[in-house]
Structure 1
Amino acid sequence: MNIQVLVVEDDFRVARVHVEFTHRIEGFTVAATARTAAEARRALAARPVDLVLLDTYLPDGSGLDLLAELTADAIMLTAANDAATVRAAYARGALNYLVKPFTAEQFADRLTAYRHYRALVAADRPLTQVEIDRCWRVVHEGDRAAAPKGQSAVTAGLVSEALRTAARPRTAADIADELGISRATAQRYLAELAREGAAEVQLRYGGTGRPEHQYRMPRERPA
């Protein structure tokens, strides 16, 4: 998956940071940048994108007005944190909202969640209600204030990414060896992913007959 991104930000230094942050995340390419709403419209007319990273305060108008025109998905990256602006952004179609200043990790959380969401809606078939509910939950994964009690958000992200990039189902021992954590820790995080519906679990029976849990990201169901 190669998600094409337009960065709309009037401050060229901030825009450069957003571009750099985006390029660090697998599956994303910055197709263009724009400093005004007019530039953004021209860029979109010349080359449609999948995702717009959009500021609210633009020299020639409000990013909210541009948001209402978009056919692409959008995530707001803005200093505006008043309730009215947040409500307007969501009402006009923003998928997520990140208030400046933010960290590279917070930014990566939102884009990674968006990539997972896009994977869920990529299938050309009707979605079940369970899958639709999962889409909404997944696109806001980065908004969770904290990991479950006793868990680290950083470790949870590493376990999830290791599972996502695996070519085959993985066991807790596999993940533990790859990340340098204990098997019990890996098992705890994998079990939490399964509980949330973000991973599938199956049993594998070894030579001793003792079953072992294997985990993988949910597979797309055939149309």
Structure 2
Amino acid sequence: MIRVLVVEDDFRVAQVHVGFTTRVDGFTVAGTARTAAEARSFLAAQPVDLVLLDSYLPDTPGLDLLAELSVDTIMLTAASDTTSVRLALARGALNYLVKPFTAEQLGDRLAAYRRYRAVFAGRHNLAQDEIDRVWRLLHDGDRPAVPKGQSPVTVHLVIEALRHAAEPRTAAEIADELGISRATAQRYLAALARDGAAEMRLRYGATGRPEHRYRWLAAS
């Protein structure tokens, strides 16, 4: 489980963020802090994987606290001015979400972060194409969930078929399973590969012709 610390001075808002976070598979809220001092004390006592950080704290600005942190951080703040956004990114924030936001908007970013972390699991080195994919995965939740011209229902079905497959699948296999055309399956699979959620590899079959086979990469 990915352990999260919510740093937010408003108790009611903090509880909303806790509720949003715990709805996302793979995440648990380790605690909350209402001040920078409380956050420092908590992190010294029990390290976490991710901090959800507000900019406006009563003792130290959240952006100043961010500069001290050596843990992954996503900013959740009402500050939308360009100076705050640029400072947050320069000081290491992995993402920036402006209040008010929905559970779905935060959930999308947390799911993208989960996929981002999965790439590093058990790895010591990454090839350049893998590093490029890491950056794409990290901000996967920033984009609209369904590309223009694609059906959200079909996207979900293709993802689930690929995600639960025991081995890499071809577009023809996915098409047969879902009852859609091979061309449609190919289009959706190719989009997932472009976004970094799936990996496409060539395999030469019995006929000697290459097959595109797709494997789900994002964490469940």
Which category describes the TM-score, using the shorter chain as reference length? 0.7 to 0.9
CA-CA distance at 1:78 after TM superposition: 0.8
Q: Which runs of 5+ in 1 are unaligned?
A: none
Note closer, same or farther for the CA distance 1:148–1:100 as it changes in structure 2 (3 Å cut).
Answer: same
1:45-194, aligned counterparts within 5 Å?
45-145=44-144, 147-152=146-151, 156=155, 159-160=158-159, 163-170=162-169, 182=180, 185-194=184-193
Q: Distance in 2 between matches of 1:59 and 1:181?
A: 57
Note closer, same or farther for the CA distance 1:8–1:148 as it changes in structure 2 (3 Å cut).
Answer: same
CA-CA distance at 1:35 after TM superposition: 1.2
CA-CA distance at 1:11 after TM superposition: 1.5
Which residue identity is paired with 2:136? Answer: R
1:24-63, aligned counterparts within 5 Å?
24-63=23-62
Note closer, same or farther for the CA distance 1:8–1:48 as it changes in structure 2 (3 Å cut).
Answer: same
Identify the range of structure 1 (91-100 vs 187-196) with the bigger mean alpha-carbon deviation: 187-196
Q: Which runs of 5+ in 2 are unaligned?
A: none
Q: Distance in 1 between matches of 2:59 and 2:81?
A: 21
Kindly provide the CA deviation profile for residues 190-209 of structure 1, in whole angstroms up to 9, marking residues without a partner as x.
22112444323456969xxx
Q: Distance in 2 between matches of 1:157 and 1:71?
A: 35
Percent same amino acid at aligned positions? 70
Tell me, yes or no, if the aligned pair for 2:140 and 2:195 is still in contact at 8 Å.
Answer: no
CA-CA distance at 1:150 after TM superposition: 0.3
Matched length: 216
Identify the range of structure 1 (159-168 vs 82-91) with the bigger mean alpha-carbon deviation: 159-168
CA-CA distance at 1:89 after TM superposition: 0.3
CA-CA distance at 1:114 after TM superposition: 0.4
Tell me, yes or no, if the aligned pair for 1:5 and 1:28 is still in contact at 8 Å.
Answer: yes
Are 1:5 and 2:32 counterparts?
no
Note closer, same or farther for the CA distance 1:188–1:140 as it changes in structure 2 (3 Å cut).
Answer: same
Kindly provide the CA deviation profile for residues 156-184 of structure 1, in whole angstroms up to 9, marking residues without a partner as x.
46644653454443455776798x78456
CA-CA distance at 1:117 after TM superposition: 0.6
Kindly provide the CA deviation profile for residues 9-41 of structure 1, in whole angstroms up to 9, marking residues without a partner as x.
112222112111111111111111111111111
Note closer, same or farther for the CA distance 1:74–1:156 as it changes in structure 2 (3 Å cut).
Answer: farther
Note closer, same or farther for the CA distance 1:45–1:135 as it changes in structure 2 (3 Å cut).
Answer: same
TM-score (norm 1): 0.81
Which residue identity is paired with 2:7? Answer: V
Tell me, yes or no, if the aligned pair for 1:7 and 1:52 is still in contact at 8 Å.
Answer: yes
CA-CA distance at 1:151 after TM superposition: 1.9
Q: Secondary structure at the match of 2:76?
A: strand
Q: Distance in 2 between matches of 1:173 and 1:104?
A: 36
Q: Distance in 2 between matches of 1:112 and 1:159?
A: 18
Note closer, same or farther for the CA distance 1:34–1:186 as it changes in structure 2 (3 Å cut).
Answer: farther
Identify the range of structure 1 (160-169 vs 100-109) with the bigger mean alpha-carbon deviation: 160-169
Tell me, yes or no, if the aligned pair for 1:204 and 1:214 is still in contact at 8 Å.
Answer: no
